[in-house]
Amino acid sequence: MTILGIDIGGSGVKGAPVDTVRGELLGERFRVPTPQPATVDGVVEAVAEVAEKFGDCDSVGITFPGVVVDGVTRTAANVDRSWLDAPAAQLFARRLGKPVTVLNDADAAGAAEVAFGAGRDQSGLIMMVTLGTGIGTALFLDGVLIPNTELGHVEIDGKDAELLAADRIRESKELSWEQWAPRVERYLRHIEMLLAPRLFIIGGGVSKKSEKFFPLIDIRTPMVAATLLNNAGIIGAAVSAEQAAQGPGGQDPGAIQVDAAAQAARD
Ligand code: BGC
């Protein structure tokens, strides 16, 4: 059984076939730029281009940078507004002709870290925080995902936290590590106060450079860098697709599988 994982990010759409037992990519990733603006039609085509690169597969897991409920995308903070209430899973399934599962990008990355990476064998409440174009969050209680938390949008000083501390802000404002780290600290302290998690797993591309900013952050909660780095979303998406194929009771009950192709054949 071949399962593809595809991660829709702010700048690139990346995918690869995944070994869902070991939590590893089965080959090189293929990446195309995310269309700008990132409209539904444009992104569906970009995802198809990535999927076609790998030939035939049994099912596809796709991450989306917003809330996804029952395969429908509900928010669009960093993509085009055409995604609001779009039947994403159906659209992808129709275009790819394969069963498809769509889930939030941070949830996917967190699920991969919890299964195979920095969150392995951790009990209690743990939180994945991805610092990228936005701030994504994923909450796990004893290894079970509570899907679609949007804690990157809590308000700090009356402002959306991701506009304060996302990695995009570091880049666009050309902040030094010393200037950016206190912003991340402020954010994490706020979350600590609200939720008291046992562990923060910090992901996103910038987690590769954790040695530059972790020492500058003073919080009480233990904090570790994601270990699957940029592949966490791809791996988590594929694992979710596999669980969805096995029916209800998987990690994310919202990550249902939509097989528009089979549906169309029946109609
Ligand atoms: C979105 C989240 C997403 C995060 C990272 C935020 O702006 O609201 O759903 O997980 O960005 O892409």
pLDDT digit string (tens) for 60-86? 999 999 999 999 999 999 999 999 999
* CB burial readout 92-115, b (16+ within 10 A) else e: bbbbbbbbbbbbbbbbbbbbbbbb
Asked if the structure places residue 97 within a domain, the reply is yes
Q: Is 32 found in the same domain as 88?
A: yes
Cα 75 to ligand 1 centroid, rounded to whole Å = 9
pLDDT in tens, 171-207: 999 999 999 999 999 999 999 999 999 999 999 999 9
- Which atom of ligand 1 is nearest to 152's Cα? 6
Residue 250 has pLDDT above 60, yes or no: no
65 found inside a domain: yes
155 and 92 share one domain? no
Q: Is residue 112 located within the same domain as residue 223?
A: yes
Q: Do both 120 and 219 map to the same domain? A: yes
Specify if 234 maps to a domain.
no
Atom 11 of ligand 1 has which residue's CA nearest to it?
Answer: 134
Residue 159 has pLDDT above 90, yes or no: yes
Domain membership of residue 63 as a residue range: 3-104
Total domain count, the chain: 2
Nearest ligand 1 atom to alpha carbon 75: 8
Q: Pick from 69, 104, 139: which residue ends a domain? A: 104
User: Which residues have C-beta within 8 Å of that of residue 8, sequence separation ≥ 6?
Assistant: 34, 38, 43, 46, 47, 62, 63, 64, 65, 79, 105
Region 150-161: what's the mean pLDDT? 97
Q: What is the pLDDT confidence band of residue 253, given thresholds at 50, 70 and 90? A: very low
Q: Which atom of ligand 1 is nearest to the CA of 105?
A: 10
Q: Give the Cα separation of 38 and 47 in Å (integer).
A: 12
Amino acid present at 19:
D
Mean pLDDT of 154-165: 97
pLDDT tens for each residue of 84-120:
999 999 999 999 999 999 999 999 999 999 999 999 9
Asked whether residue 250 is assigned to any structural domain, the reply reads no
What is the model's pTM?
0.94
Q: For residue 78, which atom of ligand 1 is closest to its CA?
A: 7
Domain membership of residue 267 (yes or no) is no
Using CA positions, which residue lies closest to atom 8 of ligand 1?
A: 66
Residues in contact with ligand 1 (CB, 6 Å cut-off): 65-67, 75, 77-78, 104-106, 130, 132-134, 136, 150, 152, 162
Q: Is residue 254 part of a domain?
A: no
pLDDT of residue 227: 95
C-alpha of residue 103 to centroid of ligand 1, in Å: 11
Q: CATH number of the domain that 67 lies in? A: 3.30.420.40
Instruction: Report the half-sphere exposure of 104 (CA within 13 A, side-chain side).
Output: 34
In a domain, 238, yes or no: no
Average pLDDT, the chain: 93
